Structure 1
């Protein structure tokens, strides 16, 4: 008997800082469905009491004991949190077929007074992430996994009473190779919180809470029970009791890392990009909104990998952009370089960032005119990328947006037709054209909340006519224009969470994400 789990989160990147404007809705990255036991009838929500250790604080009282009249916690202080955990695990599954939990929600309620001293003056929101330990039990065997990258939108801290955070994110699949019911139990919970001021994160003030279930009775921490019959009837053996508490996988029980998450460069290359943000492609504010002035900021130096696919409509063929299987280019970023808010009228808030990305050559193979195999390399020349995220209007009708726009040109070279080289010269290229990619907020898969968290962006481009193509007096401009140029050429990019070199160091080294759709090559 084997139970296989895929640990949530990417290698060496367990936490994601989310920067989101106050009053933004909770936006979660979903899980791409596939064959297997799908979460179609969610398990009941479980409420568990946790004790969260408060880290030491420079202004802690000298006695080291909690003082209910002092909002400044001391090292060793614990806060009692009420945590509601919801899953969408199926009630039954089949041996050898992956169980896909869908999105997980972790709603945490903490006493605000115990955290007030960690918030800088002017804090008007909190963002962050959570990772939840999960123990899987089947019969006498158990294994541990981590559901990480559970992210929260900004939450406005109340002046007193309770701070509530809602974390949401995809959980990894679990595969049971033999019949026998399995139970899932919640174990440790880690929260990383980042204060926000006008939507801009105070990364130097970020702090972490490590929490453990307050009650040791495993029955109080069970998240789900899944029946796994052998296919001939309800012969699965119920699990006897609860996890043994050792946390060590038994023989024949393994938890394997998630496939994606290969790290690339050690850190971000200096300096971060400079320039003026291009705001021409932004959605319009609601009628009656009066915008305040642009508020410049020094910005947060960061970097991230972004990989994707580009489709040539006329050829009905795609090529990989910034191939993750090779040596992809690293996007250098100045995050949160400016913000803008409304002064009156309907709600509006926006954060602008600037990026630079030198793409390596892409390779493409397609059938020209439907029958002749053609291979070619494509070089891209990118201008600075403006990435803007924000929210228009208020919940439940809030309209979040994510826009990345830049100018680009491309050059074709190393062309072969049916294996025979075609000399197109050194400067077979297009003029510059605009590429604008937008986040899709109608889908739960890969929503792009901000440049720090990353996600999916997609759009179409109009490829202009080619010029400079040919050698030895032969003009091939019209050939390439006829075969490639035109409107409606799709682009979809997947950006990983950004590495912030620090201090504090977060999400480093940068991670190379998978291609959209889960492909890696």
Structure 2
């Protein structure tokens, strides 16, 4: 943990950047006022290997939370009393004192796998330290305790739901004896679960559905739950209960989905559509009055905030796409291009925006600040695809352009609410370097996706119909309309957030051909929503 080691300060591992929307793909679909009949309190001690000089060191971590004993399908599972306790060894503490750090403010991000019936999603529990900084002892170990509220998760089918701890990130804001930030002002640690951890990180198992009834001799039990922290794998629900949708239990892999495709609209097959009950929950994404060119898809990913050395998670969002007619172009160089320009828009509860999302940063290096925000579409979104036809190796390049205004709904600084009023937003849409400003004037976000379409084999990279990564760089404009009761907060938000050079990476999932009578398996749910819910990538 010495100050000259850049690996400990790299922004990409900071938990404040990753801890924006704690449950990425398992946000609750159905609000539930029903309370669980019983509760299970868990305390699990796990060994972690953390990146500390002179090399990886073993760190003891205790995770505690309370879960319901059992819930019904569609009932929210809301963990309470979530705490993460990290005990730094004496060697790490001596490195802190060498930096003249006398206090620390901890923040943790615990990654989890949430799984049910073969389907899996990743989640993140964010923890913040006490209101007052923790004193660094002159010698010995240092115990850091963080707490946080884990958002609810809803399982929509019967079967045991398991929560398993995986990676851990620890951020430390460092202070000196006179109350000023130390140099460096913060350190970030990346920790991985030790391979010899008991139970392989299993925290809890929550049965979903009614209690098991006695089965005939030799029949499998419909709900075989493992004891919390036991590490015994949880068996999938079997046999399938009457009325349970019979869709595939896991989405097709990108390779499986893309194999044999050429980037055009999916072919009509005789396979049935998948069931929405078998995919991770996601916001509704239903197209009204679709045509034979209508597509929809989910997209999610990260957007860096360069000034704050962190990243905001853009939650799973619905995008509605109307494909344009393809055109063949013959430029002077003798090549052949297939061009297609499509229109698109974000769709959340009838509004052209993302779902609200939270971001937590250390403003000015020391003040933990949490903001609730949305990205609102302020004009047409276009998807321009250019496929260079060079048999058999076709190269696809797609530009997605969207004028997006960043609106701030709520702000908390060190746990105290800061009233930004109802109209806090960027003065103009976010802007990116535009390769064709004459055709696409004005400020807007530009993201580029590149893919390869080899006839008869897999599509790789980004293709509109099969999805993939989109990247770009954005400038965050100055803020306006921020403040209430005569207080002007425009300059505060502008000084701490606005500026150029913010990297963006979004992952689009496989599209659903909404107007196709019988969609290909693995693309659409039974009610014509995207079956694939992508996971964000840095």
TM-score normalized by the length of structure 1: 0.43
TM-score normalized by the length of structure 2: 0.42
